[in-house]
Copies of this chain bind each other. A is one copy, B any other.
């Protein structure tokens, strides 16, 4: 990035939709979300067993999904239980629906 800040040239809608899309833009994250949809919830460790990826890598993907608002985690010591964030999920669904017409 050099000259243009990319900050104010786009509408908020486009920015939010792009943010959601970006979070969905990796097959591992899609698979994590599919798993959460089917299981309703799961622990990080479950995912580490499912995917042949390092624990730190899974954690990073979860962090991105969390930052995008698509999932949420609640502590359940010593584990952490992750679920779909239903409210934002609905928002994302609506935005994609609206986008695709």
Minimal beta-carbon separation of A25 from chain B (angstroms): 3
Contact present for B30 and A24 (CB under 8 Å): no
The answer to whether A52 touches B18 (Cβ under 8 A) is no
How many copies the complex holds: the figure is 2
Q: Decide yes or no whether A80 CB sits under 8 A from chain B.
A: no
Complex formed: what's the CA distance from A21 to B34 in Å?
15
A60-94 interface bits toward B, Cβ cutoff 8 Å, 1 = contact, 0 = none: 00000000000000000000000000000100110
Question: A18 contacts which chain B residues (CB < 8 A)?
Answer: 24-27, 29-30
Please determine whether B99 and A97 come into contact, CB atoms closer than 8 angstroms. no
Question: Could you give 6 example pairs across A and B, Cβ below 8 Å?
Answer: A4-B52, A4-B53, A14-B31, A21-B22, A21-B24, A34-B99
